[in-house]
Homo-oligomer: A and B are copies of this chain.
Amino acid sequence: MVRQPSINAQHRTPLSTERIIEAALRIVDGQGLARLTMRRLGDALEVEAMAIYHHLPRGKEQLLDALVTHVASSPAQADGAASAGWREPLRRWAAGYRERLLAHAGVLPLLVTRRNSAALTTTVRSLQEVLRRGGVGEEAAAAAAHTVLGYVIGHAALEVRGTPEDGADRPVDWDSRFTAGLDLVLAGVG
C-alpha cells in the first residue's frame, strides 16, 4: 500500500480557536480536568498537539483561560420584556448561572485560580445591571452583586463535591436548598 498522508490533512475542516475550545470542554466535561492534556486534545481534533499552539500561542495557560471565559463570563442577560423589579430577574439569572457552572463542573477549580479575572468582572457587571435596572441604588447594587455571585459560586462548589447527606444524615435536595438559600440572600438585599 502506498501511503497517502496528505488526503486526511487536505479534506478535514481546518482548526479554529472555537473548535479547540469546544473539544477541550468536551474532554473536561466527560473525563475531568486532569485528563485534559495538549496531546489528548490534539487526538480529539485529529491533529498533532503542536498544531494547537498555532491558534493559542500561550499554550495550555491560554486554553484554560479560554475555558473559564466560555463558562463563567455571563452574557448581559438582555431580558427583552422589562420585568417589574429586580427580584424575579435576579432569581432567573442565578438559576441560569448555577446551571452553567454545574454543567461544566470540571471548570470550577479554574474559576478559583488566579487566571482570567476579566471573565468574572464581566459577570459582576451584568449582575449589577440586573439590580440597577430593578431600581437598586449604585452602592447597594455593587455590594449585592458580590454577595449573590459569591453565594452562587460557593453553593455550586458545595453541590459539585456532593456530600450526599446533611449533618443529620438526610439526603440533600440541592435544588430546593439552592433556591432557599438564594431567597435568604435576596431577602437581605431589600
Contact = CB atoms under 8 A, between A and B. Distances in A.
Contacts of A120: 158, 161, 163
A170 B117 CA distance: 16
Interface in A141-162: 141-147, 149-155, 157-158, 160-162
Contacts of A50: none
A142 B163 contact: no
Interface range for A: 35 or more
Given A143-B181, A150-B154, 11 more contacts: A117-B161, A120-B158, A124-B166, A125-B167, A141-B167, A142-B166, A146-B177, A149-B154, A150-B151, A153-B153, A187-B188
**At the interface, is chain A mostly helix, strand, loop or mixed?**
helix
A45 interface: no
A183 B177 contact: no
